[in-house]
């Protein structure tokens, strides 16, 4: 039986964990029903490599930004850079950007400045913003809301694992929550409850591979094919069949990432 189509909306195919295995990784993804994936560039110096990966594979698209944990170390992002990247037909989103006060709280002011620049790029290009948030819920909600009131933009809270208040703020702005393997961890019931309370038409799926592999692969390298395991959990949460949940999350992805056409239509 052919598995239903699902999309890995956030992975890192350029990371060394996948070196020399990319063709096999993508083949396994396709076999699991994952025929499209968005690979995320987290450092500007790596953009040419990530772009090349997207160009080489019909179902792979890419986004770029400066990860908040790199914001104080790397050159500050320029809005013009991101606008220039957006001219590429396979560039589909801005980021990942955001705030991480868990590991890099000492650079919070720099992270906030970087985040605001990425928001401006999303507003200018019309492409969705891709947000990383960790231990920064109040500031994240405030900055996203402030930017949205100035000029609306679209956004996904990637690998959402924050609190209910930030989920509520994001959903009220019309944003999306992305479900990663964390939602499948046995001790993540509180997170599953947050997802279950959210509208199913605002949910995306992702791996964040090579990190956060869902059971039964937890503790090992994650890869796009494993989106299917998280999708099973999501279907149960919403009382849907796996095929129904796959179709819904794929439609959600298409609505947000309007440039990431199905492979038959892809550039």
Question: What's phi and psi for 7, nearest 5 deg?
Answer: -125, 135
pLDDT at 131: 98
pLDDT tens digits, residue range 79-107? Answer: 999 999 999 999 999 999 999 999 999 99
pLDDT tens digits, residue range 30-45? Answer: 999 999 999 999 999 9
C-alpha–C-alpha distance, residues 181 and 12, integer Å: 15
| Per-residue pLDDT at 265 exceeds 50 | no
| String of DSSP letters for 171-223 | HHTT-EEEE-GGGGSTT-HHHHHHHHTS-GGGEEE---TTS-PPTTSTTS---
- Residue 247, CA distances (Å) to 130, 156, 239, 242 in order: 22, 18, 14, 9
pLDDT tens digits, residue range 180-192? Answer: 999 999 999 999 9
pTM of the model as a whole: 0.96
Please, what sign has the CA dihedral across residues 192, 118, 252, 216? negative
| Per-residue pLDDT at 261 exceeds 90 | no
Half-sphere exposure of 195 (CA within 13 A, CB side): 31
| Per-residue pLDDT at 267 exceeds 90 | no
The DSSP bridge partners found for residue 11 are 39
C-alpha–C-alpha distance, residues 217 and 231, integer Å: 14
The residue with tokens 């992805």 is 253
Q: Which domains does the chain have, with CATH numbers?
A: 6-256 (3.20.20.140)
Segment among 10-14, 40-44, 144-148, 258-262 with least mean pLDDT: 258-262
Mean pLDDT value of segment 221-246: 97
Question: Is residue 62 a contact partner of residue 90, using CB atoms and an 8 Å limit?
Answer: yes
Mean pLDDT value of segment 58-75: 97
pLDDT at 1: 78
pLDDT at 253: 98
Sheet holding 129-134, edge to edge: 6-11, 34-41, 60-64, 91-100, 129-134, 155-157, 176-179, 203-205
| Per-residue pLDDT at 263 exceeds 70 | no
| Per-residue pLDDT at 262 exceeds 80 | no
Return the percent helix, strand and coil in the chain, to nearest 5.
45, 15, 35
């Amino acid at each position: 039986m052919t598995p239903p189509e699902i999309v890995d909306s956030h992975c890192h195919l350029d990371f060394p964990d996948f070196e020399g295995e990319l063709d096999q990784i993508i083949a396994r993804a396709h076999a699991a029903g994952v025929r499209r994936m968005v690979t995320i560039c987290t450092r500007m110096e790596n953009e040419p490599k990530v772009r090349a990966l997207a160009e080489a594979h019909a179902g792979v698209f890419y986004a770029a930004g400066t990860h908040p944990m790199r914001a104080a170390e790397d050159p500050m992002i320029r809005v013009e850079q991101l606008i220039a990247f957006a001219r590429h037909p396979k560039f589909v989103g801005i980021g990942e950007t955001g705030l991480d006060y868990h590991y890099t709280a000492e650079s919070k002011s720099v992270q906030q400045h970087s985040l605001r620049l990425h928001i401006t790029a999303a507003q200018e290009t019309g492409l969705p913003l891709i947000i990383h948030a960790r231990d920064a819920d109040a500031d994240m909600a405030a900055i996203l809301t402030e930017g949205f009131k100035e000029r609306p933009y679209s956004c996904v809270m990637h690998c959402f694992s924050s609190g209910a208040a930030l989920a509520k703020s994001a959903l009220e702005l019309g944003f999306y929550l992305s479900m990663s393997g964390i939602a499948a961890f046995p001790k993540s019931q509180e997170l599953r409850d947050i997802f279950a309370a959210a509208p199913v038409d605002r949910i995306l799926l992702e791996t964040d591979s090579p990190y956060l592999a869902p059971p039964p692969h937890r503790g090992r390298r994650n890869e796009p094919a494993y989106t299917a395991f998280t999708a099973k959990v999501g279907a149960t949460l919403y009382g849907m069949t796996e095929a129904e949940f796959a179709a819904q999350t794929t439609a959600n992805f298409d609505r947000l990432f309007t440039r990431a056409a199905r492979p038959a239509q892809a550039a």
